[in-house]
Amino acid sequence: MFVPFFTKRASKRELERRKGGGGRGGGSSAGGSRGGSSSSSSGGSSRSSGSVGGGSSGRSSTVSTGSGTRGVSSAGNGGGRVASIPAGQPFAGRSVGGGTRQQVVGSAQYGSGYPGVAGRGVAGRGFPFYFWPVAWGGAAGAGTGAYLHTNEYGRHDNSSRPGGAQVTATFISNSNGTNTFRLMSDTATVTSLIEGIRGNCSSSLAANSSTSSSAFDPNGLPKPEQTVQYYRASSVALTFDGYNNTGALAGEGTPDTPLPAGLDATLLNCLNATIINNVPLVDAADIRWSAPSIALLPLFWIAWFISARL
């Protein structure tokens, strides 16, 4: 996993060595790496298995929405056809679906993790992974950081959010007790990922790390400028208590602040890999809305996108 300012990109030899199975056996029921490769539902490209996790079949559940219940899986690849949300439903007319596991990784900028969409902020966007972006709360106000406090998707404690109200979980390094990472997303997602993280990253976790989720308090931690990485169209955030990304609060195009020295790289990399490989995705076959016709991306841009992730 490439983390800006902290890890170097893997060489081609290292990437080849990762293919064909996870690095730790006996993964939890939340799902570890899937052996071999799987085909993307939307583009037919293959995805090699991650380097963390065992060979379990993954955790499956459902999420409730205003239009019914949808199946989700920590082992699925997502994808499916892009649909248009019908009239009478929240965010009618916007697109939904199509995002695959290969596309879940964003950056430290709110509004990242949307396949094929550049720029920060989440105003007016569709839902490639079905889930809504996290809500940081607080007054929108004015200034360059106002985009972080949009109320377009409702409050953080709105139980009608896909997956339920927003919650957090805390993961503390057992090699440096001051290293505290926090995971924030909807209830279903955080509950699923806690199990996977405790199974895959147990050798790096302190005993007082979360075993269950806690309600998100916008007046407490985490804060948006502490985000190390967003995932799944900014519907999942991984933060670090010792990080203050002033770039997220400044004008668009301002470089992100480098991660602080002394950060537990082993735990960070394990958290990243587990989230990427196990974040719940809506099953492609469970998106039933009729889809408008869409043009395929030129092969050049597909190749560029894949190479940029390596």
Determine the average pLDDT of the residues in 62-88: 79
Greater confidence (40 vs 5) lies with: 5
Please state the pTM of the whole predicted model.
Answer: 0.75
pLDDT tier for residue 309 given thresholds of 50, 70 and 90: very low
| Amino acid 289: pLDDT | 44
| Amino acid 68: pLDDT | 53
Read out DSSP for 105-136?
B--SSTT---TT--SS--TT--BTTSSPPP--
pLDDT tier for residue 71 given thresholds of 50, 70 and 90: confident
CA 144 to chain centre: 24
- pLDDT above 90: percentage of residues in the chain: 58
pLDDT per residue as tens digits for the range 243-284 = 999 999 999 999 999 999 999 999 999 999 999 999 999 887
| Amino acid 139: pLDDT | 66
pLDDT per residue as tens digits for the range 135-176 = 998 765 567 889 999 999 999 999 889 999 999 999 999 999
Q: Which of 309, 291, 305 is nearest to 79 (CA)?
A: 291
| Amino acid 27: pLDDT | 34
| Cis status, amide bond into 222, omega within 30 of 0 | yes
| Amino acid 310: pLDDT | 46
95-96 vs 166-172, strand pairing mode:
unpaired
Let me know: does 231 contact 309? Beta carbons within 8 Å: no
| Amino acid 160: pLDDT | 87
Residue 50 has pLDDT above 90, yes or no: no
Which H or E run contains 181? strand 180-186
Residues near 71 by beta carbon (within 8 Å), at least 6 away in sequence: 60, 61, 62, 282, 283, 286
Determine the average pLDDT of the residues in 87-102: 92
pLDDT per residue as tens digits for the range 191-243 = 999 999 999 999 999 999 999 999 999 999 999 999 999 999 999 999 999 99
The pLDDT mean for the chain works out to 77
| Amino acid 99: pLDDT | 94
